[in-house]
Amino acid sequence: MSIDELYKAFTDIDFQSNRLIKSKEISIDFLKQFDERVENVRIQIIKLDLSPDINEMFELLSQIDIEIDPKLSFGQQVLNVVLFGFYKKRVKRKKREKYFREEILRRKLVFQHVETHLKES
């Protein structure tokens, strides 16, 4: 992968991450596409061996867990029993959305850091 293709990939990842973060609900299909794109670019950056810090950062970056099942605290479990399960569905959905948005934002920031590093070099 050349540097020009890498910059195009950075632009694509930035655009997709903004689109996912700003959406009301995160589509699992778009999230999977985004995650696959990030993984492909991550592997290419590791192969390019830009710097030890960047390689370490990208080796620690794992894929987004699409099938995440958030855990409820004891108080939330008690409230769930009292409300006959309605509370659990809403809380788990919100926790999943929060996890997805945080992971998307983290990837966006990592790629922005690498892009800035490349522009400085």
Q: What is the pLDDT of residues 46-74, one digit of tens each?
A: 998 878 888 888 888 889 999 988 888 88
Does residue 86 lie within any of the structural domains? no
Does 90 map to a domain? no
Burial letters for 64-83: b for 16+ Cβ neighbours within 10 Å, e otherwise? beeeeeeeeeeeeeeebeee
Q: Token pair for residue 44?
A: 């290419």
Residue 34, domain member (yes or no) = yes
Write the CB contacts of 35 (distance below 8 Å, at least 6 apart in sequence): 63, 64, 66
Q: Across the chain, what does the average pLDDT equal?
A: 89
Question: What pLDDT does residue 111 have?
Answer: 92
87 lies in some domain: no
Tally of domains in the chain: 1
The segments of the chain whose pLDDT lies below 50 read none
Domain membership of residue 81 (yes or no) is no
Residue 9 lies in a domain: yes
Is residue 50 domain-resident? yes
> Which residues span the domain enclosing 31?
3-66+102-120
- pLDDT given for residue 85 in this prediction: 78
Asked if residue 43 is part of any domain, the answer here is: yes
